[in-house]
Structure formats: structure tokens, C-alpha cells
Structure 1
Amino acid sequence: MTTDPYRTVRGRGEARVSVRGSEFIGHAMPASTVEDAEAFIDAVSDEYADATHNVPAYRIRADPLREWESDDGEPTNSAGKPALSVLKHEELENVVVVITRYYGGTNLGVGGLVRAYSQATKKAVEAAGIKEERPHEQVSITVEYDDSGTVRGIIESTGYEFDAAYEADVSFSVRTPVSEAATLRDRIQSATSGRAKIE
């Protein structure tokens, strides 16, 4: 898994585009796994079950990168491919989109469909907002009370998100960028003379 930063969407975004009577509703959402992406596609398809088409596309960071799209009954390459092309053009990863279409009685032709699906995808992504994300991992640290203050100080100095549980021992769960996890482990082992249990 690469540790490089990547571009993704901030949250859920929705946008509407009307073209000659047809209504296109773009839905965009971050998704860190193929399962998350497919669950979102199913949820939107269920919510808009009365729509003429629900066209999905996603790009998920995996080894290798997973890309998928479907025309959902639209003419070949007129819907899913344009949606996926927008995600590629914006260099977005860990993102899923579904474009819902309500047919308005006028055939748009393949060119018209490509434009409409591209526009709805672009607007949904804009509504969701784009951010740069760094891959993270959870680091679990368990120490005795004597070392807990030192360890907490190190974690707080990094600015990483963490949870602490004070029981017989003290456990910290730290969300750290993958690229910086080894450094954090080394600092804590040094500070506790190797007494910390780190997973």
C-alpha cells in the first residue's frame, strides 16, 4: 500500500442537472474500500428505486487501484465511463459516485448523455469538496501508569488523533499517518526504554 498523499472528497455531495426534461442527480461520497463503495451504490439505488437509471462509478486505493463503472442500461459508454473519466481527470481516489437519472421524454443521444453524466459527476464532486488525504493506520500502545504521562506527552506533541483508556494499564489508540508510524513507535520505545507494548 502506497503511503503517498492522495486526493479524495471531503464528505457526501449532491448536485442536480436538468437537460431537456431529464433530471440528473449526482451523488458523491468518500469510500475507503470496495465494500464501502458498493454499499453506497446499493443505498442510493434503493433510495431512488423509481429512477430510470442509477449509474455508478468508483476509484478505490488498493493494490492495484480498483476502478469500476456501469452504464446501468444507458447506451454503452454513455454514462458510467464519463462519470469515471471525471474522477480520473480530478485524480480522485477512495471515491464513489452514483448519477441518478429521471427520463424526461426526450432522447439526448450518446453525446448528450456523455455531457450530462459528466456534468452531474463534476457538480457532485464539487458539492462534496476535494481534500488531500494521507493514508493512516491505528497504532495501539499499552504502558504501565508510570510511563503513561511520558507517552501521552509524546502523542499530544504530534497532534495525532488518539483515545486513551485508563485501566490496570494505560492503553492509547493513535491514528497516525502511515509514513510517520515507525518514527512514533521508535520515539515511544526510546522514551519508555522498551517497556511499551506497541501493536
Structure 2
Amino acid sequence: MDFSEKDTYRTISKPSKEIIYKDRGSKFYGYAFPVKDEEAVKTYLETLKKQHHNARHWCYAWQLGADYSSYRANDDGEPSNSAGMPIYGQIQSFEVTNIVVVVVRYFGGTKLGVGGLIQAYKTAAQHALEASKIVTRTIDVSFFLTFEYAEMNTVMRLIKEENIKIVKQDMELKCVFKIAVRKKEANRVFELFNNTYKVEIKQLENS
């Protein structure tokens, strides 16, 4: 069982406040929202489309996963790569994930050109991220511990010594604890309990 050393990621703790950037009559409203999945992205987009129902474009980019593995950029009718990718570039620049950044544009009558659009969407996204509270979170690995009541003192002593978080306890015929361990400690903690007499440890799938 091998867990890589990188065990933190950066995200935002709550939605940013609305920012506005203006260029030659066009208004760009920037927002950043913390999200866990694409459903949450859709919900925020629908809310903004209702809020700004007279706007011309709702361009956005998102990044998901503690390993920064999934992303998308959407130009929403603007020239190709003039909106979504500049927004995504700021997400990369701030090194954040589990986030969607949306820039809503009201057209002001003057065309900005591709270069002007790239600059405007990039700046609005940057300001939205600057208005956000960025936090660093740990990536945890979850395990199930199964043991008899007689081993409770041993298990609790190890949990206390290692400062392990108990997520859930089930105390019926046997004791079953769900624990969460910081990723870089996971190998060591697994071996610790695996070598403890009469205690069974299993990794929770998809953790």
C-alpha cells in the first residue's frame, strides 16, 4: 500500500463577494464558488443566469479533485479561448481546486477584440479569486478498524497517541471505527494497526 507524499490541496472556504470590472462600456461580474462536483457547478450557473438574466455571456472554468485532475473551460459564445481559458489560467495561477469561477458579461456596445476579451476575463477572474478566502486542506485516507471490546483500550491509546480522527463508531457485536488519516501518515498508521494483535484494518475504497 503506497500513498504519495502530496497530501494537501488549496481551495476556497466560501463564495467570493461579487466583483465588477469595466472595459469600454462592457461590464464583467466575477464570482468564485467552492464546489465538490459538476452538479454544484450547474446550480451556481443557473442561479447567476437568473440573477443576470439580461447579460450576454456567462463564461466559466472549474477545477475539481484534491489531485487537481479534472477541469473544464467554457467560452459561452465568446470567440474560442477568449474567456474560459483565461479564467482557467487564473485558477491555475492561484493553485486552487474544487472551485468554479464565473464571469458574467454585459456587452457595452464596443467590441473589445480577442486580446481585449482575454485581458478582461482574466482580470475579472483574478479579482474574484483575490476576493476569496483561500485555505489549505489535507487529503485524508479512510480506514475501517474492527476489533473486540477487549481491545478497546489498546485501540483508543493508539488513536490518542497518533491524534487520529474518528469519523464514525459502530459498537454492536464488535467495535467498528471509521478513521481518517492524513495521506502521508497513512502507510505508517496502516502498519501500526495491522501489527496490533486482534485488530483488523481495511482501507475504505475511493478514499
TM-score between both structures, scaled by the size of structure 1 = 0.80
Distance change >3 Å, CA 150–CA 23, structure 1 → 2 = farther
Q: Distance in 2 between matches of 1:74 and 1:7?
A: 31
Residue in structure 2 matched with residue 101 of structure 1 by the alignment: 105
Match for residue 128 of structure 2 among 124, 131, 139: 124
Residue in structure 2 matched with residue 12 of structure 1 by the alignment: 14
Residue ranges of structure 2 left out of the alignment (5+ in a row): 203-207
Instruction: Tell me which amino acid in the other structure corresponds to 1:130.
Output: I
Instruction: Tell me which amino acid in the other structure corresponds to 1:101.
Output: R
Q: Distance in 1 between matches of 2:118 and 2:8?
A: 27
Shift of 1:69: 0.6
Residue ranges of structure 1 left out of the alignment (5+ in a row): none
Q: Identity across aligned pairs (percent)?
A: 30
Check whether the contact 2:32–2:128 (CA below 8 A) recurs between aligned residues.
yes
Does the residue aligned with 1:111 lie in a helix, a strand or coil? helix
Q: Distance in 2 between matches of 1:13 and 1:120?
A: 15
Q: Distance in 2 between matches of 1:48 and 1:114?
A: 21
Q: How does 1:44-123 map to 2 (within 5 A)?
A: 44-49=44-49, 50=53, 51-61=55-65, 65-123=69-127
Paired residues, what number?
193
Deviations 1:38-91 (Å, cap 9, x if unpaired)? 223211221122242221212334889333211011122221011011122223
Residue in structure 1 matched with residue 195 of structure 2 by the alignment: 190
Shift of 1:29: 3.4
Q: Distance in 2 between matches of 1:189 and 1:173?
A: 15
Residue in structure 2 matched with residue 40 of structure 1 by the alignment: 40
Does the residue aligned with 2:81 lie in a helix, a strand or coil? coil
Does the residue aligned with 1:128 lie in a helix, a strand or coil? coil
What RMSD, in angstroms, separates the aligned Cα atoms of the two structures? Answer: 2.6
